[in-house]
Structure 1
Amino acid sequence: MRFTSEQHLDDGVLARELVVGEIPGTLWTPRLMPAPLILMAHNNGLPRTDARLVARARYVAAEYGYAVASIDAAGCGDRPRSPSDERARAELRRAVQAGEQADELLESVVGPLVEAAAPDWRTALDALLALPGITGPVGYSGWAALGIRLAAVEPRIAAVCLYAGGYVPRAQREEARRVTAPLLLLLQWDDEGNPRRHALDLFDAFGSTERTLHANRGGHLATPRFELEDSCRFHDRHLR
Structure 2
Amino acid sequence: MHFVSEQLLDGGVLERRFTLDRIPGILWTPVSASAPVPLILIGHPPLGLPRMYPRLAGRARHYAARHGFAAATVELPGSGERPRWAAAEQARADLRRALEAGGPVGGDIVDALVMPLVERAVPEWRTALDALLALPGIGGPVGYEGGVISVGVRLAVVEPRIVAAGLFAGSLVPAAMFEEARRVTIPLHVLLQWDDEGNDRQAALDLYDAFGSKEKTLHANTGGHTGVPAFELDTGARFFARHLLT
Common fold: TM-score over 0.5? yes
| 1:229 equivalent in alignment to 2:234 | yes
2:187 and 2:49 mapped to 1: Cα distance? Answer: 25
| Partner residue in 2 for 1:40 | 42
Shift of 1:74: 2.1
2:177 and 2:23 mapped to 1: Cα distance? Answer: 23
Q: What SS class does the counterpart of residue 46 from structure 1 fall into?
A: coil
Indicate the RMSD between aligned Cα atoms, in angstroms: 1.3
Structure 1: 4+ residue segments shifted above 4 A: none
8 Å CA contact 2:171, 2:199 repeated in 1: yes
Compute the TM-score of the two structures, normalised by the length of structure 2. 0.93
Counting only pairs closer than 5 Å after superposition, residues 131-150 of structure 1 correspond to structure 2 as: 131-143=135-147, 144-150=149-155
| Partner residue in 1 for 2:87 | 84
Counting only pairs closer than 5 Å after superposition, residues 1-240 of structure 1 correspond to structure 2 as: 1-33=1-33, 34-43=36-45, 45-49=46-50, 50=52, 51-104=54-107, 105-143=109-147, 144-240=149-245
Amino acid at match of 2:112: S
Shift of 1:89: 1.5
Shift of 1:54: 2.3
2:213 and 2:47 mapped to 1: Cα distance? Answer: 27
8 Å CA contact 1:185, 1:212 repeated in 2: yes
8 Å CA contact 1:35, 1:67 repeated in 2: yes
Change (3 A) 1:78 1:172: farther
Q: Deviations over 1:157-187 (max 9, x none)?
A: 0001000011122222211111100001101
1:185 and 1:55 mapped to 2: Cα distance? Answer: 19
Change (3 A) 1:173 1:77: farther
Q: What SS class does the counterpart of residue 178 from structure 1 fall into?
A: coil
* Bigger mean CA deviation after superposition, 199-208 or 91-100: 91-100
Compute the TM-score of the two structures, normalised by the length of structure 1. 0.95
Amino acid at match of 1:77: G
Q: Deviations over 1:159-217 (max 9, x none)?
A: 01000011122222211111100001101111111122111111110110111111111
| % same residue | 58
Q: What SS class does the counterpart of residue 160 from structure 1 fall into?
A: strand
* Bigger mean CA deviation after superposition, 179-188 or 80-89: 80-89
* Bigger mean CA deviation after superposition, 129-138 or 165-174: 165-174
1:217 and 1:73 mapped to 2: Cα distance? Answer: 29
Q: Deviations over 1:130-149 (max 9, x none)?
A: 00010111000102111100
